Every structure is written in structure tokens, then in C-alpha cells.
Amino acid sequence: MNSIKSKNIILTLSLAVLGALLFSFIGIPVPWLLGPLAATLLFSSFSKVTPVFPAKFRDISIMIIGYSMGLSFTKESMIQMGTSLPYMLTFTVVLILFCGFTAKLISKMTGIDYPSILVGSIPGGLSQILVFAEEVKGIDLTVVTFLQVTRVIMIVVTVPFLLFGPLFHQNAAESYSALSSSGMDNYLPLLIYIPAAILFTLLGKRIKSPTPYLLGPLAATALLGLSGLEGPSIPAIVLDLAQLSIGCYVGMLMKPKHLENKRKIFILAIISSIVLIGGSLLMSFGLRQILPLSAPTSFLSLAPGGMDQMAIMAHEVNADLSTVTSYQLFRIFFIYFIIPPFLKWLFRRLSQ
């Protein structure tokens, strides 16, 4: 069994690398994320062999992204975060209300129960939403999982094309070369940064923090940076490998051959994802009218995707990573602590 598993891991990684190289060759944005995602998704959908990708690889990759995000926090950015808290709260609430309204329309159009569609539409952490869905009676876990996974994949696939399209006037080659120019110019601080990142990750798991592999290194790196110890930047090749790992993981989440009523739920998931992306795009225009943010920064701050994927894209387009991280982080905690008890109260009212 171990031999078969090892062969499947090697095969999955080989296909992921080929997907990344192919997407890079034909000029698709964020190739090391989208290429492995597409390769893994196609592999799992049309092959009798089950793709295997170690969870530890994904966890380490998310820690690398968290470290990179933490480097963007400075004293100036923390002050800016404090002044932006009212806007973070306002736009988070508006986004969630928009999700609720969209879920109601889709529920009436499809006949699928409103609670399942609503939980499937909430742009929170995938694992936290699925745990919540399992706790609530009457929730269709299949619908919730498919909606959440489709939203993540749609955002990961769609947002890069929006960012590098005429709407945002970004140049993929220039943005990527700027990222590639960074180097590991000072190794000594890593002797402090790496143990701190691991310690904060373990602490986050102990206190059951949302996404501890991301928030642990992020918090450790930010605190060390604010104390005056400057951390070395991440080489482009390391970020590429981290993107490959996350792309494989996201691609493996989707298992369409295990889904009943594939066509109906797939169309529902696509429509829901497009509406959410369009809504966040419109809200990002509003945010730019209030704060002096670039178009990519405002859009990535409000995009209903995973914080790690938004950070990768922020790197690619030279967006303000601290601002993107702040808005995404605020939404994660808001959804993690506020939304579950509110939804439980709402579903009790609806069932009466």
C-alpha cells in the first residue's frame, strides 16, 4: 500500500509540475497555482487512479505564505489597519448580506433548501464552514461542500484573469519579475523566525484558531518585524513550490464523480460563484472611492476567496499585501466567531 501511495504522490506531483510549466509557457496568469490545480482536477475527474498529495506539504506551503504575509506588516500598516476597522466591518457585513440575498434567490430558483445554500455561500474558511454544517440538522453537506469548493476554485481561476485583464491594466510579466528579484539576502534572522513561526502555529492549533498554519507564521513574523528584527524575503522558487502545493490541494477538493445531481448543483455553484465575484468587484469600486487604494488591492481585499490564495495574487500584482491581509483576516475572524451563532439563531427562527 505504501508503494502504491508513493507512486501516486510522485505521479500527482509530476502532473502538477507539467501543468505549471504548460500554463507558464502559454502565458496564463499565476501558472504555479492554476496549472497544478487544473492538472490535479483533470487527473481526479478522468483517471481511475486516485491522486495523492501529502497534507504536510500543503501545511508547510501555507506556513510559507503566512510568513510572507507577515513580512508586510509594519508600524505604519498597523496604524492604517486601526483607522480602517470601520470600513472592514462595513464591507464584511455588506458582503455577507449580499451572500444571504443571493442564496435566497438561488434557493427559490432551484428549490434547494435555503439554509444549505446560505451556508455554502458564506465566504469563510472551508474547514470551519464544513464543521459548522455538520453540526446543524437539516443542512445538506454535499451541497455545502460543492458550493464552497466550487467558489474557491472559481475565484482562484477567475481572479487572476480579471487582475491581468484590461479592467485592472496589470502586466503579468512585469509583476512576476518584480517578485522573482527578491532573494534570501540574510539567513541569520531565520534562526529566530522559523522557531517562532512553528511555535505560534502549534499554539494556534492548541487554542483551535482558524487556519493556524496561516495565522501562526503570520502573527510570529509580524510581531518580530514590528520589534525591529527584519526577516529575509522569500525566494521566488520557494513561493512557486508553495503555490504548486496549494494548487494541488484545491484541485483535489473537487470530486464531481462522487456527486449526485451533478448538473443541477454544478450550474448552481457556478452561478453563485460568479455572482459573489461580481458583487465583491462592485464593492471594491466603492472602497476605492473611500480609501486611496489601488484597484488590485481593493478587489483582493474584498474577494471572497481564501486568504492564502489572495496573498499569492497580491504578490503577483504588487498589491498592498498588508491591506489585503488585514481585510481578509478581519473577515475570517468575523465569520468564525459571529456568523455560526447568528446562523443557528436564524435557522431556529426559520424552522418555527
Q: With pLDDT > 90 as the criterion, what percentage of the chain qualifies?
A: 12
Q: What is the pLDDT of residues 58-69, one digit of tens each?
A: 889 889 988 888
Residue 333 is predicted with a pLDDT of: 79
CA distances from residue 34 to 40, 73, 125, 191, 337 in whole angstroms, order as listed: 10, 27, 20, 33, 31
Q: What are phi and psi of 289, to 5 degrees?
A: -75, -20
pLDDT band at 151; cut points 50, 70, 90: confident
For the segment 129-155, the average pLDDT, to the nearest whole number, is: 76
Q: Which residues lie below 8 Å from residue 9, measured CB to CB, with a gap of 6+?
A: 52, 53, 54
- Give the mean pLDDT of the chain: 81
Q: What is the DSSP string of 256-282?
A: GGG-SSHHHHHHHHHHHHHHHHHHHHH
- Phi then psi for residue 205, to 5 deg, are -65, -35
Q: Is the pLDDT of residue 227 over 80?
A: yes
261 confidence band (pLDDT: 50, 70, 90): low
Q: pLDDT tens for residues 183-209?
A: 444 566 778 888 999 999 999 888 877
Is the pTM above the cut of 0.85?
Answer: no
Four-CA torsion 112, 117, 119, 125, nearest 10 degrees: 130
Q: What angle do CA 42, 45, 50 make, to 5 degrees?
A: 100
pLDDT at residue 236 greater than cutoff 90: no
For residues 95 and 330, the answer to whether their CB atoms sit within 8 Å is no
The whole-number pLDDT of residue 284 equals: 92
pLDDT of residue 182: 43
**What is the pLDDT at residue 1?**
53
Whole-number pLDDT of residue 186: 58
Q: Is the pLDDT of residue 306 over 80?
A: no
> pLDDT-derived band of residue 334, with 50, 70 and 90 as boundaries?
confident
> Which of the four pLDDT bands, split at 50, 70 and 90, describes residue 170?
low
Using an 8 Å Cβ cutoff, are 321 and 109 in contact?
no
Each as own residue / partner, the long-range contacts of residues 188-194 (CB below 8 Å, 24 or more positions apart, any chain) are 189/224, 189/229, 189/230, 189/231, 189/232, 190/231, 190/232, 192/224, 192/229, 193/67, 193/220, 193/221, 193/224, 193/231, 193/232
Is-contact 71 225, C-beta < 8 A?
Answer: yes
- Taking the C-alpha atoms of residue 248 and residue 34, their distance in angstroms, rounded to an integer, is 9
Contact 103, 343 (CB under 8 A): no
Judge whether residue 146 has pLDDT over 50: yes
Confidence (pLDDT) at 183: 44
Q: Give the mean model confidence (pLDDT) for residues 325-348.
A: 82
DSSP state at residue 305:
S
**Residue 277 carries which side chain, given as an amino acid letter?**
I
- Looking at residue 340, its pLDDT comes to 78
